[in-house]
Amino acid sequence: MSNAATFDTRTDSAIPVESPLAYSYRRSGAPAAGPESRVTLRERALLGQLVLRGGAIVLDEAVREVLGLGLPGEPQGLVQDERGERSIQWLSPDEWLVIVPGGEEFELETRLRERLGDAHYAISDVSGGQTLLELEGEAARELLMKTVIYDVHPSHFPVGRGVTTVFAKATAIVRRPSEERWELVVRRSFADYCYRWLLDAGEEYAIGVVR
Amino acid sequence: MSQSKKQVHRLAKGGRIDRSRTLSFTFNGQSYQGHPGDTLASALLANGVDIVNRSFKYSRPRGIVAAGAEEPNAIVQLGSTEAAQVPNVRATQQALFAGLTARSTNGWPNVQRDLMGLFGKLGGKFMPPGFYYKTFMAPASLWMTYERYIRKAAGLGRSPMEADPDTYDHLHQHCDVLVVGGGAAGLAAALAAARSSARVIVADEQEEMGGSLLDSRETLDGKPADQWVAQVVKELAGYDNVTLLPRTTANGYHDHHFVTLHERRTEHLGETAPLVKGRRQVRARMHRVRAGQVILATGAHERPLVYAGNDVPGNMLAGAVSTYIRRYGVAPGHKLVLTTSNDYGYRAALDWKEAGREVVAIVDARQSPAGDWVEAARAQGIKIITGSAVIEAKGGSRVSAARVAKIDIDAFQVSGPAQELACDTIASSGGYSPVIHLASHTGARPTWRDDILGFVPSLVKGVHACGGANGTYALGEVLAEGVEAGIKAAAVTGHAAPAVSLPQVKALKQGPAAPLFQVPHEKPTLRAPKQFVDLQNDVTAAGIELATREGFESIEHVKRYTAMGFGTDQGKLGNINGMAIAARCLGRPIPEVGTTVFRPNYTPVTFGAIVGRHCRDLFDPERYTALHQWHVEHGAEFEDVGQWKRPWYYPQTVNGKVETLHEAVARECSAVREKVGILDASTLGKIDIQGPDAREFLARVYTNKWEKLAVGKCRYGLMCKDDGMVTDDGVTSCLADNHFLMTTTTGGAAAILEWLELWHQTEWPELDVYFSSVTDHWATMTITGPEARKLLAEITDIDLDKESFKFMEWRAGKVAGVPARVYRISFTGELTFEINVQANYAMHVWQTLFKHGEKYGLTPYGTETMHVLRAEKGFIIVGQDTDGSVTPEDLGMQWCVGYDKPFSWIGKRALTRSDTKRENRKQLVGLKPKDPKVVLEEGAQIVFDPKHAIPMPMAGHVTSSYYSPTLDSGFALAVVKGGHQKMGETVYLPMADGQTHEAKIVSPIFYDPKGERQNV
């Protein structure tokens, strides 16, 4: 285990916890999804999120062994386990985002550090700093076209891709885990802006929020 | 009176209008009627409205000239309510809808008879080019006054004074091939590209696609051209890979094939967007297109001939006359004289005759015109006067006659006696100008072609021009060029297009055109009746001639001097004529006079579409901490720090009165100094630094030493740019041997992370270290004040004993049941604990602190109190007390500089420059105003000698200034030349109001200079 400090920031479930959108729901409401909704928005809150940095070969071996998933084989790749609960996304040539069910991240970090030993790498827990938003529905792509500069056409953004791009006047990670679903990873401090932007842009598609 | 009688110029049949429905509309307060399919312009012409505006400078009556984007006169203000006002709409491009309300843009106070008319007639002679510069610029102080009246009289439209009820948005589009223009060339190109399966966008500015094919006399495969249009549009609409955008203008062509398309989604339906199923629609949308290849199929604008009186209502472009007849079923007069330099103009006469109206004569500048249409006109028995031109239009509010004479183009003179032909309409055609505007936006200079008497676009890589935009006008060739461009563009993007079989077009025999721009008059240009070049800006041929006589030789200068092309139409009709006239006056060929450069936007774009949804509460991101809701609920006033909203102060209601900033800050300061306060410090940047070389890296980017910082300890660090100037500061803690947490200023967080990456990646890649932002992961709650330890002790398992948890150390444990890292660092000078927890738990911890804190007087405080408290301690704020020109030594922070560190840290060398070493640099000091009630102004200039004559030598300025409730006095931080050597000396601050404040230079540490309070 490298000489870094690890810290399990989670505690027992009796302690109240607030997702990054908690304030936004109270402030802006959450329009219910209805039959006319052509797009729905759902926050998958409080997931475990780790940023891995290091050489691809070393990290790839470690995550295969510990997580059962290899690093994506190419830039802008996104891989996930069969149930879509655990994923690894390329962020930059030596940087990946790992998302796992909430509460798994500390054990994952600990086991990765054990496995990686003295290799040079970094693992940073960012679980409290970002949240994942899902978009589904036939208008999801057009909603994204109003929002992100990156080309989200299926020929250019196939399933299994993830990019960091401009989101209105902020930034976000955009991922496509399946044919029907898009995911946005937004920073906590920008989450309210992103939420209000999406509600506004989605109004013409009768956007509904699933909670 | 029946409706058809009211529409006096409406033909009994023909046109692409729906005669089964009638729409009422209002123009200048009068009610009229038209039909679906009309534009406002065609409906006005149908109703016999001759005058639609008054001219900009001379206030002459003006009528509709064109049928498209190039219209210079029919510029209207739309809107029946204040909120719905839209200025500068071209009536030729505004679809008619029921209830449309429009007014002339020009013509205050009345278009039919206005006061300015008198001024225009009198003043006309006295308003040569450069008139405004020459007359109204002096004295400069009065320009504002002149401008108000000139603008009102000239009429430049006005913006609404009420909020726009509509919404607008943006759509980011990407495609392989963008086709601009949906006429013959554009549709052919789109068809070829679409069949290759490339991603294609077709944008066309008109109500329906088809361009000139919608009013063409020609046939495709023996059928009317509009049938081919319908068939192609239907095929294109069926492709998944094609996006068709009618009513969409490509208004700007920016770098890297980024093209902005302005789509008017509901402007043909009503003045505000109708609801669909109760949901709003966007009125206009800006498509921000990143295209692989761009095909410009933007067509050509017909050039009018420049003759005397060519602005009298009833003078029109020949092509526009045809368009109104064939597309809108409107013949805008009864007796036509056509003056032309080419075969295309003949179309207007043929259409006019077929509409059952009288063609008085065709006046052709050529000696012996020959061609299919010329023969057709002869066969129709239309009189053709050759070698001649209309040299002058007669009439006041409508053309009454045309004066026709033989002309000698080469000698530029009238070569025979004039005859007067009675008529009410004069159509003119001087040939075509390719629409090269978008190609111009890319910076490519157009090229003059003598064979077509026009500029064709030069093209940057990835741009194709076809059809009229490329100077190709014969329909068969236009279609072929379109297909070729489509195939080529698709191929470049990796899509092979199958062959496209083109419809059969009968090739028209045509004779060459005559190079006629300005028509000579019997009198010299300067004394002839006005010959208008730019109708919108009232620029005449005489004006251009005068400009060349006054020494303006470059067309760019002539344009600026005469204002030619500076209207909202950017001189679409007039610029080439103007250049030709300048060339004639200068005795040079046209291309030598210069080319014309167009800039975005092609036609005016409503601000709403430019702004999109980036307005009101979505104008800019607002970043919130995890505790934001608590701050809102507790009445905080917020301060913008970067994009963050930070609590500024928390005004309370005392005896029914809400505290002022001053009162709240005094209360908050006292609470911290006497009891305990709490600050949401979550916005500070936090960078997680890991790796065996993390410590070495810190030593290189900070000015001070890091080699001995032990695990569990924290240290203040100062960061310089390579110029030796302070750029950031903050506390960095050693979490483990290879693991540090750096904090940065709130505003500097992103830039500092980039700075670290930059140095690591470009200068020291051999150092094993990684950086990740964890700013949002942690929430930071600062409790500070004498009671802080007692409060925290109630809810933590961390040993807070002053011996086991010393100042500048951190400990991990639980606070309120939540895992926390607690840092004993202080920005207030008081005993302080900064509690960091994962942000999702922050609200619980914050509220638990308040549950326990009431008995200790726990008081939330904001950034203003934070500023006062830190300033009392002389702690700097980078960006407030520094401005990029301040070294650590200027700040008196030599204690924070490791001069003997083994590696040359960033900024070290710069600190040995003569300029950073010199005496008399501005240095940070404290200022104590002589009158303790005075709070000096931040930014106030400091002088040593207030009696010195103005300009006084400046000695420095105030960087931070507050009232301190603790000191019961105003106090300030300032930078003063040589200030460190001037302790105890008096300086002066002369203010704008005439007062001069007096202050003493003191140490910047005003409170607890030994730092005992934070060490307890």
Question: Residues B229-264: pLDDT tens digits?
Answer: 999 999 999 999 999 999 999 999 999 999 999 999
ipTM of the complex: 0.98
* Structure tokens, B119: 């001024």
Q: How far is Cα B193 from Cα B491, in angstroms, rounded to an integer? A: 9
Displacement of CA A195 from its chain's centroid (Å): 15
Q: Which of B626, B779, B819 sits opposite A8 (nearest CB)?
A: B819
**Residue listed under structure tokens 């960012």:** A126
Looking at domain B685-773, its CATH class is: alpha beta
CA distances from B875 to B210, B434, B878, B882, B959 (A): 70, 66, 10, 12, 12
Measured at the alpha carbon of residue B635, what is the angle toward residues B633 and B637, in degrees to the nearest 5? Answer: 125
Enumerate residues 30 to 89 of chain A having a beta carbon within 8 A of any beta carbon in chain B.
36, 46, 51, 53-54
Same fold, B167-300+435-492 and B304-430: yes
What domains can be seen in chain A, in order of their start residue? 22-46+129-211 (3.30.1360.120), 47-126 (3.30.70.1520)
- Asked if B695 and B771 touch (Cβ cutoff 8 Å), the reply is no
Phi, psi angle pair for B100, to nearest 5°: -55, 135
Q: Please tell me the predicted confidence (pLDDT) of residue A1.
A: 45
Question: Residues B736-756: pLDDT tens digits?
Answer: 999 999 999 999 999 999 999
| CB-CB neighbours of B527 under 10 Å | 9
Shortest distance, CA B837 to any CA of chain A (angstroms): 7
Mutate to test the interface with A, among B196, B495, B777, B844 (most CBs of A within 10 A): B777
Q: Does B231 touch chain A (CB under 8 A)?
A: no
Q: Does B959 touch chain A (CB under 8 A)?
A: no
DSSP of B153-195: HH------SS----EEEEEEEEEEEEEE--SHHHHHHHHHHHH
Task: Decide which of 3.40.50.300, 3.40.50.450, 3.40.640.10, 3.50.50.60 is the CATH code for B304-430.
Answer: 3.50.50.60
Q: How far is Cα A132 from Cα A177, in angstroms, rounded to an integer? A: 12
Whether B777 sits inside 8 A of A7 (CB atoms) is no
Phi, psi angle pair for B169, to nearest 5°: -150, 180
Judged on CB neighbours under 10 Å (0-12, 13-18, 19+), B168 is buried
Sign of CA dihedral B990, B992, B995, B998: negative
Shortest distance, CA A91 to any CA of chain B (angstroms): 12
Judged on CB neighbours under 10 Å (0-12, 13-18, 19+), B773 is buried
Quick one: which of B830, B741, B839, B763 has its CA closest to B1008?
B830
- Asked if B740 and B677 touch (Cβ cutoff 8 Å), the reply is no
- Asked if B249 and B243 touch (Cβ cutoff 8 Å), the reply is no
Q: Which residues on chain B are in Cβ contact (under 8 Å) with A147?
A: 172
Q: Which residues on chain A are in Cβ contact (under 8 Å) with B199?
A: 153, 155
Give residues with Cβ within 8 angstroms of B524, minimum separation 6. none
Please give the CATH architecture assigned to the domain spanning B918-1016.
Beta Barrel (2.40)
Residue type, B944: F
Quick one: which of B890, B877, B889, B900 has its CA closest to B962?
B877
* Structure tokens, B810: 């951190």
For chain A, the residue count is 211
**Which homologous superfamily does the CATH classification assign to the domain defined by B628-683+778-870?**
Probable tRNA modification gtpase trme; domain 1 (3.30.1360.120)
Q: Which residues on chain B are in Cβ contact (under 8 Å) with A27?
A: 629
Give residues with Cβ within 8 angstroms of B485, minimum separation 6. B185, B189, B192, B295, B297, B464, B465, B466
In B37-127, beta strands by DSSP E? 53-54, 61-62, 75-78, 86-90, 101-104
Q: Please tell me the predicted confidence (pLDDT) of residue B568.
A: 86
Q: Please tell me the predicted confidence (pLDDT) of residue B278.
A: 84
Shortest distance, CA B777 to any CA of chain A (angstroms): 3
First to last CA, chain A: 40
Q: Does residue B139 have a cis peptide bond before it, meaning omega lies within 30 degrees of 0?
A: yes
CA distances from B733 to B738, B764, B803, B823 (A): 11, 22, 19, 9
Question: Residues A94-120: pLDDT tens digits?
Answer: 999 999 999 999 999 999 999 999 999
Q: Please tell me the predicted confidence (pLDDT) of residue B158.
A: 86
Q: Does A13 touch chain B (CB under 8 A)?
A: no
Report the chain B residue with the minimal C-alpha distance to residue A36.
B277
Mutate to test the interface with B, among A19, A23, A105 (most CBs of B within 10 A): A23
Enumerate residues 805 to 864 of chain B having a beta carbon within 8 A of any beta carbon in chain A.
812, 814, 816-819, 821, 837-844
Using DSSP's 3-state secondary structure scheme, residue B984 falls into: coil
Q: Please give the radius of gyration of chain A, using alpha carbons only, rounded to the nearest integer.
A: 17
Please give the average per-residue pLDDT across A53-75, as a whole number: 96
Residue type, A41: L
Report the chain A residue with the minimal C-alpha distance to residue B612.
A146
Domain ranges of chain B: 1-163, 167-300+435-492, 304-430, 523-610, 628-683+778-870, 685-773, 918-1016
Report the chain B residue with the minimal C-alpha distance to residue A142.
B171
**Residue listed under structure tokens 């792509």:** A141
- Asked if B993 and B914 touch (Cβ cutoff 8 Å), the reply is no
Query: What's the topology of domain B1-163?
Result: Ubiquitin-like (UB roll) (3.10.20)
Give residues with Cβ within 8 angstroms of A27, minimum separation 6. A192, B629
- Asked if B430 and B82 touch (Cβ cutoff 8 Å), the reply is no
Q: Looking at B680-739, list the stretches that DSSP marks H as alpha helix, in order from N- to C-terminal side.
A: 694-701
Whether A130 sits inside 8 A of B818 (CB atoms) is no
Which residue numbers in chain B have pLDDT < 70?
1-5, 107-155
Q: Does B239 touch chain A (CB under 8 A)?
A: no
Q: Which of B614, B628, B772 sits opposite A51 (nearest CB)?
A: B772
Whether A146 sits inside 8 A of B628 (CB atoms) is no
Q: How far is Cα B47 from Cα B51, in angstroms, rounded to an integer? A: 11
Q: Does B618 touch chain A (CB under 8 A)?
A: yes
Please give the CATH architecture assigned to the domain spanning B523-610.
Orthogonal Bundle (1.10)
DSSP of A32-75: PP-TT-S-EEEEETT-EEEEEEE-HHHHHHHHHHHHS-PPPSST
- Is pTM beyond 0.90? Reply is yes
Give residues with Cβ within 8 angstroms of B359, minimum separation 6. B336, B337, B338, B349, B352, B353, B382, B383
First to last CA, chain B: 98
Task: Decide which of 3.50.50.60, 3.10.450.50, 3.30.930.10, 3.30.830.10 is the CATH code for B167-300+435-492.
Answer: 3.50.50.60
Question: Residues A74-83: pLDDT tens digits?
Answer: 999 999 999 9
Whether A170 sits inside 8 A of B621 (CB atoms) is yes
Using DSSP's 3-state secondary structure scheme, residue B515 falls into: coil
**Residue listed under structure tokens 């046109």:** B15
Q: Which of A11, A26, A36 sits opposite B818 (nearest CB)?
A: A11
Shortest distance, CA A36 to any CA of chain B (angstroms): 10
**Residue listed under structure tokens 């230079």:** B1001
Phi, psi angle pair for B631, to nearest 5°: -60, -45
Q: How far is Cα B576 from Cα B597, in angstroms, rounded to an integer? A: 11
